Amino acid sequence: MRWTQIYIPTLREDPAEAELISHKLLLRAGFMRKVTAGVYNYLPLMQRVLHKISNITREEMNRAGALEVTMPVLHPAEVWQASGRWDVVGKEQMRLKDRHQRDLVLGGTHEEIITTLIKGELRSYRQLPLNMYQIQVKFRDEIRPRFGLMRGREFIMKDAYSFDRDEEGLKIAYQKMVDAYFRIFRRCGFDIRKVESDTGQMGGTGAHEFMVVVDTEGGENTIFYCDKCEYAANQDKATFISDQPDERENEKLPLEEVHTPDRKTIEEVTDFLKLPAERLVKTLLYRADDQIVAALIRGDRQINEIKLKNESGCLELEMADAPTVQSITGSEVGFAGPCDLKRVKFFLDEEVSKMANFVTGANKTDYHYKNVNAGRDFRVDHITDLKLAEGGERCPHCEKGSLKTDRGIEVGNTFMLGTKYSEALKAYFVDADGKDKPFVMGSYGVGITRTAQAVAERFNDKYGIIWPKSIAPFGIVITPTNYQDEKLKEIADQIHGELEKKGLEVILDDRDERAGVKFNDADLIGFPLRVTVGERGLAKGQVEVKVRRTGEVTSMDLDPAADKIAEIYDRID
Ligand code: ATP
Ligand code: MG
């Protein structure tokens, strides 16, 4: 391929629209252009990268026995209504109406479509297990599309769906996908981490996410992992062993109202009362659909809203606004407490359930209560874990190690769905015993476009992107320092031809540009290997090869340069 025959609009300056390094680099290096929020054109270099990631994914899916299909992007609303997710997915779903005013959906995932596809047709247990996948565009009306391809409204995903007779079968199917995911992401150059995750609106019995660890803002997720055992979970899911002593047998002291003028925050109240934050219990009021719920957690903890949402079983959870808090508590914001609080359901964190004689707001402006006790002073509706995990806490798995944190980009995930969709959509097969049973399902996603950008976020330096060989847009760039020079042109053309004959993906920079510009562009784009054909080298009958990742330079005689270049290319990653 010749540079002048491909479209690579590189930019000299960082585009203002980009925050992340990968986003800047992909724009500057001419891989993509924004159309509107969360929607991009993928230019020729990006298209090549996406093909490679897709092909690696395809190979590993096929190797795991999954079958490629293509399902529609356009879905009738009815399948989503039938599964019950029309309401659950809510605003994230891209919806439109056809000319007859019928509701349609631009698919953001395909559990409904695939379950409907096999329903009624795949009838015998003998046809199981089955796993089908596609690599296709998805639409999601994300609240905050950002970071380029990391969180788009239109993006490419590989999604696979497994169907089994029973839980045993699902476990096997799930493990095959997990193994395939490790192979896919390792082939993309990542040291991938598998972490436990929440099943969220997907439902089901268990899930994992595949994370690329980065130390930049691009790592939107916090990952918790144990320094002694295999435990690893994302922030939604992570738990830890609490240091809270069990005080339930302690003597319960009489409730006492204390004047705390203008002391609203945990810090202000604890300073004023000269108590540590863990003696305080925060009462956080939320609107859970059309109900108000109160979450009670220790003053030094943060709340995990995902856990609260799951526990309350609501579709939408948001913090109650100030007027609501005022009307519920009859006081200013900052003095909410569980005693005498009417019309709300209480969710107690496990730690709070073990505490005695704690401090809470008194639902009266400028007052708190001391010596509050659950059960005696207020009704307990639910006891559960509501805490956000924190680094340094004790591992919930081995109970010995301490939790560490990292930032991660979620590039893939796997869900054990169980029978949630097959039951909702009434998709049954006839088992060996002649009985109708719902399919036991799994679903498995890889963000193809997000993976491409995650590579750029993970592998770069001050000069540009550093693509692993497996997914680089071209493996080798040949840079003649002056293509107008007959001799340089001849040698560059010759090496180009020979490398192409070897089946390597080579791009020849035949532009009439200064050598410095060409070198900069080559580094910015991040081809794994650069062959420099320059006057000084040629005077000695040599060309120079530079490995992008390591900076290692090798000079070699012209004859047989192509063989040597291929050798070096062969041994780099
Ligand atoms: P997230 O928590 O990041 O929103 P998700 O849990 O919604 O992701 P899934 O529905 O499981 O993601 O989708 C499977 C994969 O698709 C994700 O692991 C991710 O790689 C990719 N993906 C999800 N949403 C987007 C998006 N808005 N833009 C680009 N890729 C995405
Ligand atoms: Mg999402």
Q: If you measure from the C-alpha of residue 186 to the centroid of ligand 1, how many angstroms do you get, rounded to a whole number?
A: 19
- The rounded distance, in Å, linking the Cα atoms of 100 and 112 is 23
Q: pLDDT confidence of 201, banded at 50, 70, 90?
A: low
pLDDT tens, residue by residue, 265-292: 999 999 999 999 999 999 999 999 999 9
Residue 274 has which token pair? 């000269």
Ligand 1 atom 22: residue of nearest CA:
447
Name the residue of 26, 139, 236, 413 to mutate for ligand 1: max ligand atoms within 8 A of Cβ: 413
Look at residue 340 in the predicted model and tell me its pLDDT.
87
Rounded (10°) CA dihedral 120, 124, 126, 131? 20
Q: Which amino acid is at 211?
A: M
| pLDDT at residue 444, as a whole number | 98
Cα–Cα distance between 202 and 444 in angstroms, integer? Answer: 11
Is residue 204 scored above 90 in pLDDT?
no
Residue 253 corresponds to which amino acid?
Answer: L
Pick the CATH number of 256-384 from 3.30.230.10, 2.60.120.860, 3.30.1360.200, 3.90.960.10: 3.90.960.10
Q: What amino acid is encoded at 444 in this protein?
A: Y
* Domain 42-239+404-457 identical in fold to domain 465-571: no
Give CA–CA dist 496/167, Å, rounded.
Answer: 55
Per-residue pLDDT reduced to its tens digit, 8-59: 999 999 899 899 999 999 999 999 999 999 999 999 999 999 999 999 999 9
- Tens of pLDDT, residue by residue over 514-550, are 999 999 999 999 999 999 999 999 999 999 999 999 9
Q: Determine which residue's CA is closest to atom 29 belonging to ligand 1.
A: 151
* pLDDT for 199 beyond 90: no
Q: Give yes or no for a contact between 322 and 334, defined as CB atoms under 8 angstroms apart.
A: no
Query: 373: Cβ below 6 Å to ligand 1?
Result: no
Q: Say whether 503 sits in a helix, a strand or coil.
A: coil
Our CA dihedral for 63, 131, 206, 56, rounded to 10 degrees, sits at 30
Tell how far the Cα of 140 is from the centroid of ligand 1, in angstroms: 9
Tell me the CA–centroid distance for residue 444 and ligand 2, in Å: 14
- CATH homologous superfamily, domain 465-571: Anticodon-binding domain (3.40.50.800)
Ligand nearest to the CA of 138: 1
Q: What is the pLDDT of residue 202?
A: 62
Give the pLDDT of residue 236: 93
Q: How far apart are CA 316 and CA 127, in angstroms?
A: 39
Residue 247 pLDDT level (bands cut at 50, 70, 90) = very high
* pLDDT for residue 9: 97
> What are the φ and ψ backbone dihedral angles of 191, each rounded to 5 degrees?
-95, 85
pLDDT digits (tens, 9 = 90+) for 385-407: 999 999 999 999 999 999 999 99
Percent pLDDT > 70 in the chain is: 99
Query: Above 90 in pLDDT, residue 89?
Result: no
d(CA 453, CA 231): 27
Question: Rounded distance, CA 360 to CA 381, Å?
Answer: 17
Please report which ligand is nearest the Cα atom of 197.
Answer: 1
pLDDT in tens, 170-191: 999 999 999 999 999 999 999 9
Q: Is residue 236 lining ligand 1, measured as CB closer than 6 Å?
A: no
The residues with which 97 forms a beta bridge, in sequence order, are 103
448-458 vs 44-63: helix crossing angle, rounded to 10: 110
Does the domain at residues 42-239+404-457 carry the CATH identifier 3.10.28.10? no
pLDDT at 203 exceeding the cut of 70:
no
234 lines ligand 1 (CB under 6 A): no
Rounded Cα gap, residues 262 and 266, in angstroms? 12
Rounded distance from Cα 37 to ligand 1 centre (Å): 16
What atom in ligand 1 is closest to the CA of residue 149?
29
Is there a contact between 512 and 553 (Cβ–Cβ < 8 Å)? no
Task: In whole angstroms, give the CA distance from residue 129 to residue 122.
Answer: 11
Question: What pLDDT does residue 120 have?
Answer: 87
Question: If pLDDT is split at 50, 70 and 90, which confidence band does 342 have?
Answer: confident
Which sign, positive or negative, has the C-alpha torsion 54, 56, 59, 64?
Answer: negative
Quote the ligand 1 centre to 143 CA distance (angstroms).
Answer: 13
For residue 494, pLDDT over 70 is answered with: yes
> pLDDT value at position 373?
95
State the residue for tokens 């005080």.
247
CA of 154 to the centre of ligand 1 (A): 11
**pLDDT at residue 146 in the model:** 93
Q: Which residue, chain included where needed, has tokens 């562009």?
A: 521
Report which of residues 166 and 204 the model is more confident about: 166
* Closest Cα to atom 24 of ligand 1: 151
Ligand 1 pocket check for 218: Cβ under 6 Å: no
Domain boundary assignment for the chain: 42-239+404-457, 256-384, 465-571
- pLDDT for res 195: 97
